[in-house]
Amino acid sequence: MAKERRKAVLELLQRPGNARCADCGAPDPDWASYTLGVFICLSCSGIHRNIPHVSKVKSVRLDSWEDVQVEFLASRGNAVARATFESQVPPFYYRPSASDCQLLREQWIRAKYERQEFTHPERQEPYSAGYREGFLWKRGRDNGQFLSRKFVLTEREGALKYFNRSDAKEPKAVMKIEHLNATFQPAKIGHPHGLQVTYLKDNSTRNIFVYHEDGKEMVDWFNALRAARFHYLQVAFPGASDADLVPKLSRNYLQEGYMEKTGPKQTEGFRKRWFTMDDRRLMYFKDPLDAFARGEVFIGSRESGYTVLDGLPPSTQGHHWPHGITIVTPERRFLLACETESEQRAWMEALRKVVDRPMLPQEYAVEAHFKHKP
* Among 121-135, 239-253, 353-367, the least confident range: 353-367
Q: What angle do CA 128, 208, 285 make, to 5 degrees?
A: 140
Average pLDDT of 357-364? 86
Straight-line distance from the first to the last Cα atom of the chain, in angstroms, rounded to the nearest whole number: 72
Average per-residue pLDDT for the chain: 92
By CB atoms closer than 10 A (0-12, 13-18, 19+), residue 266 is: middle
For residues 128 and 90, what is the distance between their CA atoms, to the nearest angstrom?
9
Tens of pLDDT, residues 24-34: 999 999 999 99
Q: What pLDDT is attached to residue 133? A: 96
Pairing, β 57-59 against β 31-33:
antiparallel
- For residues 242 and 92, give the distance between their C-alpha atoms in angstroms, rounded to a whole number: 9
Note the pLDDT tens digit of each residue in 306-345.
Answer: 999 999 998 888 888 999 999 999 988 999 999 999 999 9
Say if CB 270 and CB 256 are below 8 A apart.
Answer: no
- 3-state helix, strand, coil split of the chain in percent (to 5) is 30, 25, 40
Which of the residue ranges 7-11, 67-71, 163-167, 208-212 would you say has the lowest mean pLDDT? 7-11
Between 274 and 267, name the one with better pLDDT: 274
Is residue 373 pLDDT above 50, yes or no?
no
Looking at residue 203, what is its pLDDT?
77
- The more confidently predicted of residues 136 and 203 is 136
Q: Which of 134, 153, 126, 121 is nearest to 232 (CA)?
A: 153
> What pLDDT was estimated at residue 267?
65
Residue 46 has pLDDT above 60, yes or no: yes
The mean-pLDDT minimum among 87-91, 149-153, 163-167, 222-226 falls in 163-167
Per-residue pLDDT of 183-239, as tens digits, reads 999 999 999 999 999 998 887 889 999 999 999 999 999 999 999 999 999 999 999
What pLDDT is recorded for position 266? 65
Distances in Å between the alpha carbon of 191 and those of 103, 212, 215, 365? 11, 9, 11, 37
Rounded to an integer, what is the distance from CA 102 to the centroid of its chain?
A: 12
C-alpha to C-alpha distance for 332 and 55, rounded to whole angstroms: 58
Please tell me the pTM assigned to this model.
0.91
Q: What is the pLDDT of residues 85-134, one digit of tens each?
A: 999 999 999 999 999 999 999 999 999 999 999 999 999 999 999 999 99
Instruction: Output the CA torsion sign for 228, 102, 279, 146.
Output: positive
pLDDT at 372: 45
Tens digit of pLDDT for each residue in 54-64? 999 999 998 88
- The dihedral of CA 310, 284, 297, 295: what is its sign? negative
**Which pLDDT score, from 0 to 100, does residue 374 have?**
43
Q: Going by DSSP bridges, is the β-strand pair 271-278/255-261 parallel, antiparallel, or unpaired?
A: antiparallel
| pLDDT > 70? residue 141 | yes
Cβ-based neighbours of 120, under 8 Å, separated by 6 or more: none
Decide: 174 and 225 in contact? Cβ < 8 Å: no
C-alpha 87/C-alpha 65 separation (Å) is: 29
How far apart CA 247 and CA 369 sit, in angstroms, is 24
Q: Which residues contact 313 (CB under 8 A, 6 or more apart)?
A: 326, 333, 335
Element (H, E) at 204: strand 204-211
Q: Are 196 and 209 in contact (CB under 8 A)?
A: yes
Highest mean pLDDT among 65-69, 237-241, 347-351: 347-351
* Cα(212)–Cα(138) distance, integer angstroms: 9
Going 298 to 303 to 309 to 313, the CA torsion angle's sign is negative
Give the pLDDT confidence score for residue 337 in this predicted structure. Answer: 96
Q: How many CB atoms lie within 10 A of CB 283?
A: 24
Burial status of residue 336 (CB atoms within 10 A of its CB: 0-12, 13-18, 19 or more): buried
Give the pLDDT confidence score for residue 96 in this predicted structure: 97
Question: Within 10 A of 285 (CB to CB), how many other CB atoms are there?
Answer: 19
Residue 193's nearest CA partner among 102, 118, 116, 128 is: 102
Separation between Cα atoms, residue 297 and residue 370, nearest integer Å: 8
Banded model confidence at residue 5, pLDDT cuts 50, 70, 90 = confident
Give 360's pLDDT tier (boundaries 50, 70, 90). confident
